[in-house]
Structure 1
């Protein structure tokens, strides 16, 4: 052979070289080929701020397995890559870098800041792409997209204007989620909830022209400054006569009305609630129903506004403390009780979100949600596992209008223009506008769109929409979306309604949901815990194939998995086993060997292997069709390790030593099986399979472009496999018997095989000699060998003369020593369990454990005594 495999398996020797060769030869390129069926995956675009983490590694590995499998199965398989501009996160990183230089956004101005941001993107934005390549991701990099590239930006404007003209986008004053740290609005999906320890402050508001008070409780006393009413339930007889009257707001001493509203729960607290429309979503709705004024008491950084001099400029929590002190001085504080409640936080920075009334842009969600619900209910798109459609339905059926405007500069600027002269507003694709009413220049809305607005268009904007490109016609709808369960509502839902609204078709037919990769203790990986595992470090130590195989084998759709270093080591050991098996085959091939397919005539053991592989190919295909990637990888592992390496290679060694035609047949079958196994394994472990393939085939082809194995009816040897399994079972039974008796493999013994399949067992005698330490084999219908060890299977009873296996006297002496040792354990445990003091004080669990130990010792003693009795017969 022209090239040899290195003696030692070292992925550093070839992984980068192989990836470069794949890329250079265009192996990842997908074309709109009408002779082929398309198969498309769009990558969940990682943030340009991102660094490859274990979640990415799992997500990309699963996608790469599917795309490589489909590519090898004859599809025009497109895996479309790209990155997301990650508006808030990216701007925060750029602003932080500028802060260290003593520069602010305002110093640069919008144009200067955007120039700086694009430079940052150029420098750092491609980092994660290079990291994906280290993992082996076979994306069509010639089609790489970015959510703010020219094509995606064009699509964003097109959709915004289309929605606006249809009345699906509007601008208005609504209660929104505000992050005081990021200083921008957030959508509901960007708020995560966590339990926080807090308090209930019980307050009393004086009823005007009365000595009476209304008592209520609040978790946020600082919002009291913006109260514009108190509310009671209209059915609550305790307060019926007070509705329409007013109370005096403590500290502020503003008169506010008492209103009746069904929102108030009579059985909760005192049945009275304060209404702060500017700082609570429910209060905002109450305010609309009762035409209440909306008073904002906080600045964008959550400090108190100047309208309240006693607290102006104070942070909300600092103000809270001062306000509570002042309420106590005024006699308005009744009591304080501890209270744990769910609090919304910014999912990017973790800051507690402030509900706040603000003028923003919104998308009407109900008309968009209904078709998206129907598409899953009627089966146009399915979730794997199916249970995740419940999360999808719950979110869509309870969805609120989507706040899409963000108060940052990095992103797609909203294509709306305002005339400061006459107040006119226009929405246009153009980069500037002149007022159609008064002819004055208009200024563009300074806000940008939510990042998810552009990524919602990803499955079709990346294929050229709004142009009706050949790629769009051929590759859309896409096929499988692979994503974690944590972004179903962030991304999956938005792509669904966007695809249906703009393309008239669902964006993908299957959503494959995977879980999180947790640490070895089952904890979520996080910076705060310091338990994150860097995939690049794992790749550097064990190779990408080992990491990929561990992630694939440990994965089942929808379920979390644990990263355990020993499992990566086990995957690397598997790669090493495959490497050594390949070297064994190649070292036993002649220089001029040329594989011409399976021989016409095969030995029984060859047919056994061929049939097992044929069934494996069938099952793996079925598993991959059902997205059971972990099951498929485990079956391939078991076949390679157990069937091929541990059995078939050993079965062929006598034939290779014998030479001649039987050797040639064995060589051909070994190469055939190795080629098939490499192809099956390639989507899971692409690098090692490519390296071995090219050496095995003298670099005449690349495995990435080979055809994936499927079931072949012409090589169905089911009957022969069943027959040879009888031999395998018998060899295993003999081995087990010898192991139980501590007989080393070097000690040979004649086997007497009592069986109805004498011809079969006689023809396979050589395997018993090679693999079961047999000195000779004799078959018959019936044997009577009294002083022997027996091994029994479904098809045979095997007698092994004892005098050939062991020295009786030595074995009896060894067993007597073992018996004395076990007797000591029995005496100790019996004494303990007969001790009434122990029984009285010990926990029931400990007592049961000691009883179990005694039962095990008794069982061991019985076996030893049986063995001694057998030797003394």
Structure 2
């Protein structure tokens, strides 16, 4: 019989037609039921060239979560969104158009940002669809849409009315290049070269000096005290005395504090406003009056005297020169210093006092810790990232930003008394461009208002994603059915931001945790083990790879290469090599397509053996799928299909399937088992490689999509895996002996089948052409 599958190889170009069929058949449409599987899908951010190959691998595995859940009989809600707020698009727009945001009309700048995002978004959607992601593209959302931003504003207004928001002037992390406050969670640390300067401070009315080592000598003008450890006996006799600050000649007191480390530098530390977070804490504790040494323009202020107007780095170099010239330097060391930088812009941050809006979070830490314990993390080790972050929170969350492309803070201030007023929720407000929606000030009765110009931290938008997709405050029936979501899939680097802020905000608004499970993926690394990023230039564009090799090849590489939760290296050669498995699967399917599909048969011992091993495969795959660890089923399916089913079983039953020397009943037992095994492999593999499995399934087994099928479950059968090693070793022994005798695999050979393999003797004899 001619095979139903005539093509000799899988053609990835078929994927486009399959995608079209899925879209026309609407096989992923969602209608809410009483029990739903809701995915709080991460909306990717299109900044610069969208997506590198590691991100594409991440999203292909999120799709595997959705497909796994559907085949487990769950009603899957898989929304798709695009994150379009924040700093990256502003920086991209400035670079693309060679402009500066603050020197451009705000409305014009916003239009340019939107235009840039539209172009980049189109390519991102194309990549997602090409990967076979089975989400709701027909209704995908944008975080800069009026509908989304109005929800962000509405949730802010709700929390404002609950007293969860306040305005305060406090030291803040400040990215002076982008001109905005950033939260602690948006800071990373880089080891940067700098100079550690050992400076001489004279003790007043004494012929003695103390040495103070600092990497920030430009902040001498902001020095308010010198501290030493209480147990540091070197300074005991000078405690309480005045010390003269070099260059400025200001007098400050020498006092003790436990935070001073005896082993660092000279053990004496100058406390300035503000060199680091330790300075911030000390200024609060000691109730010292701050000196603003660095301004919003990122330059030294007038309190720096002759150094005013210089950038801190320039002032540092100049003041070191002057210190040396005036004999105030004992020595200078070149060191590598752990420096806080903005996660987005990569600029070193400064700490300066600024008036910002804060969302209360300190009072919620214990509650967040309790909710975090209730969430199942996959893998469990990444729960610790959240717990460590909760331990480090010391201030409330500064949520206002001095940028343009973001959701505006919906506040108008009375022009007369500055009383803040928030509008009623429900629409999208732009206070910098719109007339106040209120008529009179509730405090003084004035009818004139000034609109707020600041925007929200972008995480204020992102943190309501599970509320937006479940139609919070929009469709109560829909919301009650699909919220809380089931799972939050995301990368590990934003656990302390996106995951934490979502947990905080959703609990504040709904009293519930936003999801019961969190799926955390590692970083995509380049061939040298460096984290992939567009800014480093080591990112691989996924679209050409997908177009050349096919989405299934890419997806199978993603599953078989990445042990869930761990970082992984991306290599085009490795991706291409996974194509060999799809070729093997195709060849097996093509061979089996020569035989009719029969509904039942009487399996002989050989058939029962492979069905037993198939049962074990089902068990192993279920274990991996239950934990959303696709590495487990990918490796197990490849090993079984290639090295057991194809290499041993098919060869053992080939003659029987053709009916050569066997009865019809024996023949049908083989054919039944062949198709049962292949159809099971296809269903097990479908969440990972949806295209080739769909094509083979529809060609061989059903007109209905494989993705509409229920996943196979383990059967109650005798476990015959104990005989597997003996069968495979015997086959290898025969093959090696034929090779040694320079015989072809079809040539007869005289080798006796061991008595322990007696039940399989007839199939082994026909397989190897063994002489009696």
What is the TM-score with the length of structure 1 in the denominator?
A: 0.80
Match of 1:549 among 556, 563, 573: 556
Change (3 A) 1:3 1:368: farther
2:326 aligned with 1:330, yes or no? yes
2:770 aligned with 1:767, yes or no? no
Is the 2:52–2:534 Cα contact (8 Å) retained in structure 1?
Answer: no
Aligned to 1:361, the other structure's residue is in SS state strand
2:729 aligned with 1:735, yes or no? no
Deviation at 1:575, TM superposition (A): 0.7
Change (3 A) 1:166 1:133: same
Is the 1:158–1:466 Cα contact (8 Å) retained in structure 2?
Answer: no
Match of 1:582 among 552, 566, 589: 589
In structure 2, what is the equivalent of residue 707 of structure 1? 710
Is the 2:132–2:690 Cα contact (8 Å) retained in structure 1?
Answer: yes
Deviation at 1:193, TM superposition (A): 0.8
Match of 1:123 among 112, 119, 125: 119
In structure 2, what is the equivalent of residue 275 of structure 1? 271
- Matches of 1:142 and 1:368, distance apart in 2: 38
Change (3 A) 1:228 1:445: farther
Is the 2:52–2:532 Cα contact (8 Å) retained in structure 1?
Answer: no
Aligned to 1:142, the other structure's residue is in SS state strand
Deviations 1:597-653 (A, max 9, x none): 223x33333333333323322331232113332111111112222233223332343
Aligned to 1:125, the other structure's residue is in SS state helix
- Matches of 1:565 and 1:696, distance apart in 2: 32
Deviations 1:454-509 (A, max 9, x none): 21121222211134533322222222222222221122222222232222222222
Change (3 A) 1:705 1:324: same
In structure 2, what is the equivalent of residue 675 of structure 1? 679
Aligned to 1:144, the other structure's residue is in SS state strand
- Matches of 1:753 and 1:326, distance apart in 2: 93
Deviation at 1:738, TM superposition (A): 4.3
Structure 1 residue ranges without an equivalent (≥5): 778-873
Matched ranges for 1:827-846 at <5 A = none
Match of 1:221 among 200, 203, 217: 217
2:140 aligned with 1:138, yes or no? no
Change (3 A) 1:619 1:329: closer
In structure 1, what is the equivalent of residue 17 of structure 2? 17
In structure 1, what is the equivalent of residue 694 of structure 2? 690
- Matches of 1:756 and 1:239, distance apart in 2: 86
Deviation at 1:192, TM superposition (A): 1.0
Matched ranges for 1:578-727 at <5 A = 578-586=585-593, 588-589=594-595, 595=597, 597-599=599-601, 601-658=602-659, 661=664, 663-697=667-701, 700-713=703-716, 716=717, 718=719
Q: Which moved more, 1:242-251 or 1:470-479?
A: 242-251
In structure 1, what is the equivalent of residue 432 of structure 2? none
Deviation at 1:179, TM superposition (A): 1.5
- Matches of 1:603 and 1:236, distance apart in 2: 85
Change (3 A) 1:555 1:526: same
Change (3 A) 1:439 1:607: same
Is the 1:424–1:435 Cα contact (8 Å) retained in structure 2?
Answer: yes
Is the 1:610–1:717 Cα contact (8 Å) retained in structure 2?
Answer: no
Change (3 A) 1:285 1:70: closer
Structure 2 residue ranges without an equivalent (≥5): 430-435
In structure 2, what is the equivalent of residue 78 of structure 1? 77
In structure 1, what is the equivalent of residue 441 of structure 2? 435
Deviation at 1:4, TM superposition (A): 5.4
Is the 1:598–1:672 Cα contact (8 Å) retained in structure 2?
Answer: no
Is the 1:190–1:346 Cα contact (8 Å) retained in structure 2?
Answer: yes
Deviation at 1:409, TM superposition (A): 0.8
Is the 1:175–1:284 Cα contact (8 Å) retained in structure 2?
Answer: yes
- Matches of 2:291 and 2:28, distance apart in 1: 58
Deviation at 1:245, TM superposition (A): 5.2
Deviation at 1:549, TM superposition (A): 0.7
- Matches of 2:524 and 2:73, distance apart in 1: 32
Deviation at 1:552, TM superposition (A): 0.6
- Matches of 1:111 and 1:3, distance apart in 2: 64
Match of 1:410 among 387, 399, 405: 405
Aligned to 1:81, the other structure's residue is in SS state strand
Deviation at 1:577, TM superposition (A): 1.3
Deviation at 1:450, TM superposition (A): 1.0
Is the 2:50–2:121 Cα contact (8 Å) retained in structure 1?
Answer: no
2:385 aligned with 1:394, yes or no? no
Matched ranges for 1:842-857 at <5 A = none
- Matches of 1:241 and 1:418, distance apart in 2: 55
Provide the aligned C-alpha RMSD in A: 2.9
Aligned to 1:473, the other structure's residue is in SS state helix
Deviations 1:40-86 (A, max 9, x none): 21211111326122221222122111211111221101222112124
Number of residue equivalences: 755
In structure 2, what is the equivalent of residue 292 of structure 1? 288
- Matches of 2:261 and 2:659, distance apart in 1: 90
Is the 1:40–1:478 Cα contact (8 Å) retained in structure 2?
Answer: yes
Aligned to 1:751, the other structure's residue is in SS state coil
- Matches of 2:227 and 2:410, distance apart in 1: 41
Deviation at 1:358, TM superposition (A): 1.6
Is the 1:299–1:305 Cα contact (8 Å) retained in structure 2?
Answer: yes
- Matches of 2:633 and 2:253, distance apart in 1: 68
In structure 2, what is the equivalent of residue 98 of structure 1? 97
In structure 1, what is the equivalent of residue 433 of structure 2? none
Matched ranges for 1:332-347 at <5 A = 332-347=328-343
- Matches of 1:447 and 1:3, distance apart in 2: 67
What is the TM-score with the length of structure 2 in the denominator?
A: 0.90
